[in-house]
Amino acid sequence: MNTSPSQTQPDGGSADPDVAARPLAGSTAAALPAEVAAPAASQVSAPQRVVVVGGGMVAQRFVEALRDRDDAGRHHVTVLAEEPRAPYDRVALTSYFSGRDPEALALGDPALWQDPLVRLVRGDAVTRVDRDARTVMTASGRTFPYDELVLATGSDAAVPPIEGNDLPGVFVYRTIDDVAALRGWVEERAAAASRPVRGAVIGGGLLGLEAAGALKALGAQATVVQFGTHLMSAQVDLGGGEALRRLINSLGVAVRVNTATQRMRPSRRTGAVGRLDFADGGRLDVDVVVLATGVRPRDELGRAMGLEIGARGGVVVDDACRTAVQNVWAIGEVACIQGACIGLVAPGYAMAEVVVDRLLGGAATFPGADTATKLKLAGVDVASWGDAFGSTPGSMEVVWADPVGGVYKKLVLADDARTLLGGVLVGDATAYASLRPMLGRALPGDPAAFLLPEGGAGAPELELPDDAGVCSCNNVSAGTVRAAVTEHGCTDLAGVKACTRAGTSCGSCLPLVKKLMTAELARSGVEVSNALCEHFDLSRAQLYDAVRVAGLTSFSEVVARFGTAEAGRGCDICKPVVASILSTVAPAHVLDGERATLQDTNDHVMANMQKDGTYSVVPRIPGGEITPEGLLVIGQVAKDFGLYTKITGGQRIDMFGARIDQLPGIWQRLVDAGFESGHAYGKSLRTVKSCVGSTWCRFGVQDSVGLAVDLELRYRGLRSPHKIKLGVSGCARECAEARGKDVGVIATDNGWNVYVGGNGGFTPKHAVLLAEDLSTEELVRTIDRFLMYYIRTADRLQRTAAWVADYEGGVDAIRAVVLEDSLGICADLDAAMVLHLETYEDEWAATLADPDKLRHFRSFVNAPDEHDRTLAYVAERGQARPATAAERAGAGAGPVLVAGTTLEVRS
Partner 1 sequence: MTRSPALIAATPDAATPAVSPDDAWLPVCALADLAVERGAVALMDGEQVALFRLLDDTVLAVQQHEPHTQAMVMSRGIVGTRGGRPVVTSPLYKQVFDLASGECLDTTKGERVALVTWQVEVRDGVVHLGSAHGPGARAAA
Ligand X SMILES: Cc1cc2nc3c(=O)[nH]c(=O)nc-3n(C[C@H](O)[C@H](O)[C@H](O)COP(=O)(O)OP(=O)(O)OC[C@H]3O[C@@H](n4cnc5c(N)ncnc54)[C@H](O)[C@@H]3O)c2cc1C
Name the site residues for ligand X (rule: CB under 6 A): 53-59, 80-83, 90-91, 93-94, 125-126, 152-155, 173-174, 207, 210, 298, 301, 332-333, 343-346, 348, 376, 506
Is residue 863 involved in binding partner 1 (CB under 8 A)?
Answer: yes
Residue among 325 and 573 whose Cβ is closer to partner 1: 573
Residue 187 is a binding residue for partner 1 (CB under 8 A)? no
E-strand ranges in 404-502 read 407-413, 420-426, 469-471, 476-477
Tell me which of ligand X, partner 1, none is bound by residue 763, counting a contact when its beta carbon lies within the kind-specific cut-off of 5 to 8 angstroms: none
Q: How far is the CB of 819 from partner 1 (least distance, A)?
A: 39
| Three-state SS at 256 | strand
Q: Is 598 in the site for partner 1 (CB under 8 A)?
A: yes
Judged by CB under 8 A, does residue 862 bind partner 1? Answer: yes
Sign of CA dihedral 364, 369, 372, 373: positive
Stretch that binds partner 1, among 2-10, 131-139, 157-165, 866-874 (CB under 8 A): 866-874
Looking at the Cβ atoms of 315 and 660, the one nearer to partner 1 is 660
Give 827's contacts (C-beta < 8 A, 6+ positions apart): none
CA gap 245, 109 in Å, rounded: 39
- Per-position x/- string for 531-550, each x denoting binding to partner 1 as judged by CB under 8 A, each - no binding: ---xx---------------
Of the two residues 57 and 756, which places its CB atom closer to ligand X in the complex? Answer: 57
The Cα–Cα gap between 770 and 764 comes to 18
Q: Choose the one of ligand X, partner 1, none that binds residue 125, judging by a C-beta under 5 to 8 angstroms depending on kind.
A: ligand X
Q: Does residue 724 contact residue 686 with C-beta atoms inside 8 Å?
A: yes
Burial of residue 137, with CB atoms counted within 10 A of its CB: 0-12 exposed, 13-18 middle, 19 or more buried: middle
User: Which among ligand X, partner 1, none contacts residue 503 (Cβ within 5 to 8 A by kind)?
Assistant: none
**Minimum separation from the CB atom of position 594 to ligand X (A):** 55
For residue 254, the cross-strand partners are 223
Quick one: which of 154, 103, 88 has its CA closest to 126? 154
Among the residue ranges 262-270, 339-347, 380-388, 858-866, the one whose residues contact partner 1 (CB under 8 A): 858-866
Nearest to 737 by CA among 711, 704, 710, 712: 704
Among 596, 680, 754, 818, binds partner 1 (CB under 8 A): 596
Calculate the alpha carbon distances from 382 to 45, 223, 431, 821 in Å: 52, 19, 11, 27
The smaller minimum CB distance to partner 1, of residues 382 and 581, is found at 581
Q: Which of 35, 416, 566, 629 binds partner 1 (CB under 8 A)?
A: 566
Torsion of CA 171, 177, 182, 187, to 10 degrees: -160
106: left (phi over 0), alpha (psi -120 to 50) or beta: beta
Enter the DSSP assignment of 453.
Answer: P
Pick the closer one to ligand X by CB: 210 or 357: 210
Give the span between the Cα atoms of 680 and 684, in whole angstroms.
Answer: 8
Asked if 218 and 231 count as a contact pair (C-beta separation under 8 A), the reply is no
- Spell out where 741-820 has E strands: 743-748, 751-756, 768-774
Residue of 866, 876, 886, 890 that binds partner 1 (CB under 8 A): 866
Contact residues for 270 (Cβ-Cβ < 8 A; gap 6+): 168
Nearest to ligand X of 183, 856 (CB atom): 183
CB of 61 to ligand X, least distance (A): 8
Nearer to partner 1, 324 or 889 (CB): 889
Residue nearer to partner 1 on the CB measure, 96 or 555: 555
Q: Which is nearer to partner 1, 87 or 576 (CB)?
A: 576
Considering the complex, state which of residue 401 and residue 470 has its C-beta at the smaller distance from ligand X.
470
CB of 322 to partner 1, least distance (A): 52
Contacts of 635 (CB under 8 A, 6+ apart): 645
Q: Which is nearer to partner 1, 711 or 871 (CB)?
A: 871
CB of 109 to ligand X, least distance (A): 18
Rounded-to-integer distance, Cα 190 and Cα 198, Å: 10
Residue 191 engages partner 1 in binding (rule: CB under 8 A): no
* 35 within 8 A of 41, measured Cβ to Cβ: yes
State the Rg of the chain over Cα: 32
565: contact with partner 1 by CB under 8 A: no
Q: Quickly list DSSP for 652-670.
A: SEEEEEE-GGGHHHHHHHH
Closest distance to ligand X from the beta carbon of 298 (Å): 4
SS3 at position 391: coil
Stretch that binds partner 1, among 50-58, 207-215, 505-513, 899-907 (CB under 8 A): 899-907
Run of H or E including 185: helix 176-192
Examine residue 855 and tell whether it contacts partner 1 (CB under 8 A): yes
Q: How many CB atoms within 10 Å of residue 461?
A: 10
Helix, coil or strand: residue 234: coil
Helix (H) or strand (E) holding 829: helix 826-839
**What is the rounded CA–CA span in Å between residue 503 and residue 867?**
58
**Which of partner 1, ligand X, none binds 856 (CB below 5-8 Å, type-dependent)?**
partner 1
How far apart are alpha carbons 282 and 263 in whole angstroms?
11
Determine if residue 413 is left, alpha or beta; phi over 0 gives left, psi from -120 to 50 gives alpha, anything else beta. Answer: beta
Phi, psi of 474 (to 5 degrees): -115, 10
Q: Residue 898 touches which of ligand X, partner 1, none (CB < 5 to 8 A by kind)?
A: partner 1
| Residue among 35, 820, 838, 904 that touches partner 1 (CB under 8 A) | 904
d(CA 658, CA 666): 8
**Given 16, 277, 300, 868, the residue binding partner 1 (CB under 8 A):** 868
The one of partner 1, ligand X, none whose footprint includes residue 90, by CB under 5 to 8 A per kind, is: ligand X
Among partner 1, ligand X, none, what binds residue 140 when CB lies within 5 to 8 Å by partner kind? none
Q: Does residue 850 interact with partner 1 by CB under 8 A?
A: no
Q: Which does 863 bind (CB under 5 to 8 A by kind): partner 1, ligand X, none?
A: partner 1
Q: Which does 598 bind (CB under 5 to 8 A by kind): ligand X, partner 1, none?
A: partner 1
Count of residues of this chain found to bind partner 1 when the rule CB under 8 A is applied: 57
Q: Which of 525, 827, 878, 893 binds partner 1 (CB under 8 A)?
A: 878
Rule CB under 8 A: is residue 893 a binding residue for partner 1? no
Q: Are 211 and 247 spatial neighbours (Cβ–Cβ below 8 Å)? A: no
| The one among 453, 613, 635, 809 contacting partner 1 by CB under 8 A | 613
Residue type, 459: A
Nearer to ligand X by C-beta: 345 or 688? Answer: 345
Which amino acid makes up residue 222?
A: A
How many angstroms separate the Cα of 531 from the Cα of each of 683, 796, 799? 20, 11, 18
* Region from 404-412, 599-607, 617-625, 695-703 binding partner 1, contact rule CB under 8 A: 599-607
Nearest distance from C-beta of residue 801 to partner 1, angstroms: 24
Given a contact cutoff of 8 angstroms between Cβ atoms, the answer to whether 788 and 715 are in contact is no
Give the footprint of partner 1 on residues 454-513 (CB under 8 A): none
- Which CB atom, from 641 or from 715, has the smaller least distance to partner 1? 641
Which stretch in 36-44, 227-235, 435-443, 891-899 sits in contact with partner 1 by CB under 8 A? 891-899
CA dist., res. 127 & res. 301, Å (int): 7
List the x/- string, 617-656, binding to partner 1 by CB under 8 A: ----------------------x--x--------------
Q: In terms of CB distance, is 111 or 885 closer to partner 1?
A: 885
CA dihedral (376, 379, 383, 388) positive or negative: negative
Tell me which residues touch partner 1 (CB under 8 A): 534-535, 566, 568-572, 574-576, 594, 596-601, 604-605, 609, 611-613, 639, 642, 660, 855-856, 858-863, 866, 868-872, 878, 883, 885, 888-889, 891-892, 896-900, 902-904, 906
